[in-house]
Structure 1
Amino acid sequence: MLAAFARPGLAHVRAAALLARFASVEEPKPWLARASAYEVSEQSESLETDSGPTRARLYSPRGIENPPALVVVPGVHRLGVDEPRLQRFARAIAASGVAVLTPEVKSLTEYRIEPFGIATIGAAASALAKRQHVERVGVMGMSFAGGLALLAAADERYRSGIGFVVAVGAHDDLARVGRFFVTNAIPDAEGHTVQMQAHDYGIAVLMCDHADDFFPPEDAAEAKETLRRWLWGEEKEARARAAKLQPASREKLEQLFDKKTAALAPEILRVVEARGPAMREVSPHGRLGALHVPVYLLHGAGDSVIPPTETGWLAKEVPPAYLRTQLISPAVQHVELHGEPTAGERWALVHFMAQVLEEARDTR
């Protein structure tokens, strides 16, 4: 009986240590540090996928034989598995006693959301399960990778290697999110319209992904590279590149750079409508009926890239028997911790992560 009560309590301590370690580059308080005292070894990996070899990094807790295992998939970011916040998060999880594999979804590093990402996630889960000598491992997808992770778990080609899914700041319907970028309004799953200011990052990603739809052939490649530089934070270089384009192309980019995106709205909405079939291929909406593993949903209450209403939709899409937890937290902003959370908000996050750690152990 004591062991039965002690295990959940220890999971909460490990979760608190994990979050403390991720929130700061400094070591957590001594009593928390002892709860996640495993040293972590790191090594580069290469995964075989349908689209060829894929980079990955494995974080292993030392001194644990056959630890629980989790694939953590980064969202849209040019650095992929080298992104510092992702690395810190992976180390924090590994220090709590869980082996972590971070695969690089090439399309997401290039600001494209494509079905190949689903295959990469499936291959990563299969490879990690084989390495850990287990049938299934957990998958945690961040941002747009969260929606892809859910699709992988529902896909008969890949679901045999996936034991549970954690979707953080994920999308349910990519086209709905695309319309939000320019309308600053989005419907929730209860039939209400939620108004909030969209982050201009979303428009830049959308235009970069579909540059051929926004720019003439002679400008499309350079415009895409210009948008990448903008997304990388290289504003001066982006503006210099934009100045070399034809007047109409330059004007579109300058409207984005100067946050005058209202003028772009009609064209963006036309592109979203035209690209509807392709966006449905990478959207969980209406496609999770075959999902039969536990699901944990986490979203930032103020997320202005993928609004938290999307997690409300996902909660309705996941078969009820498999939805474990849905948390909309003010302490999270998109896929990172935010601000100074209240004690209650801290506890909610700790409890969420404790459940995930316990699920990882049970899956093992």
Structure 2
Amino acid sequence: MTDNTKKPRRQRTWSAFGDVKRRPSEYEIVTHGTNWTTRQGRKAPLEQNPSSPANLWFRTYRDGSPLSVEDWESFRDPDKMTYRQYVAVQNEQETKVRGVLDQYADSNADARLHPRWRSVLARLFTPTRYPLHGLQQIHAYFGYMAPSAYITNAATFAAADVLRRVSLVAYRTRELQMAWPEEGFATGEREIWENDAAWQPARKAVENALVTYDWAEAFTAVNLVLLPSLDDLLLRQLREIAHANGDDLTWLLMSFLQVDSKRRDRWSGALAKFAVTEGPGNASVLQGWIDQWSPLADAAVEGLAHVLAAAPEHPHRVMDMVDAARRARAELIDQIGLAQPDTAAG
């Protein structure tokens, strides 16, 4: 007698993706389901008492976040970045940076910088390693807390980007100190960060973000509001004005760093748009956070714009700089389908 019972189809190696009709990409294979704190059937995120402080933290600030999606594993980074690809991309970037640094060091270009421009660098550029360290910590935090490895990996690469930026600022600071040892480079930045009036709104914004425990709000505050605003001033606008003031080295370095900034904007905008599409009510949650953090971002930009406005060449009005930063942030928020709050000064 013939057995006509249909045998179950043999599952393939990538069956964790469900009944898919295609082979997953390398990016998906090395990323999917690798966040062990979100494994199926878990009693708690961590292998300890479900009521332990660490498990309660995850339950409160990740699982209980008002930003909710049924399946965070469906999110994809638009760049599909893996660790292997990230190392290759940044190795190429660092080769270019090293060549530029060597070229300008040999020409002794810093010795020709205008005194007022050196003052701008001392107050605006070299102190940035302090807020950047804080922003790196926030990326590490919400990356660790995120509900999917697709988010964790993107945030981890972003944290590495910020650390690269800190290292580059530190290297440039040392160069300026060697060229102008009496002007406070490498020795005066902490005092500026803690006490210079121009930096205090930015300091307030970063320190408030450091104690924002909900993973999604921390992500929104930094990647959708603070960094898009500050990067427009401290990367794009500073880059243009550095070039006008004969500081071609800073101009080139800012160009390299903008590549990292734009990649962060791409995946951050895609994640926010994914949340809005997949979760009812997520648009209002994100909009509320954007409305809350935008005034802090604008105040931070305005304080620092007063320093950049003191550049001897190619001067800009302070409020024009603030408006430009707001427009840069609005471009990202518009892509998500949300609204830029009206925080412009009169």
Which range, TM-score by smaller chain?
Answer: under 0.3
TM-score, length-normalised on structure 2?
Answer: 0.27
- Greater share of residues in strand: 1
Question: Which has the bigger relative contact order, CA under 8 A and spacing at least 6?
Answer: 2
Going by fraction, where is helix more abundant, 1 or 2?
2
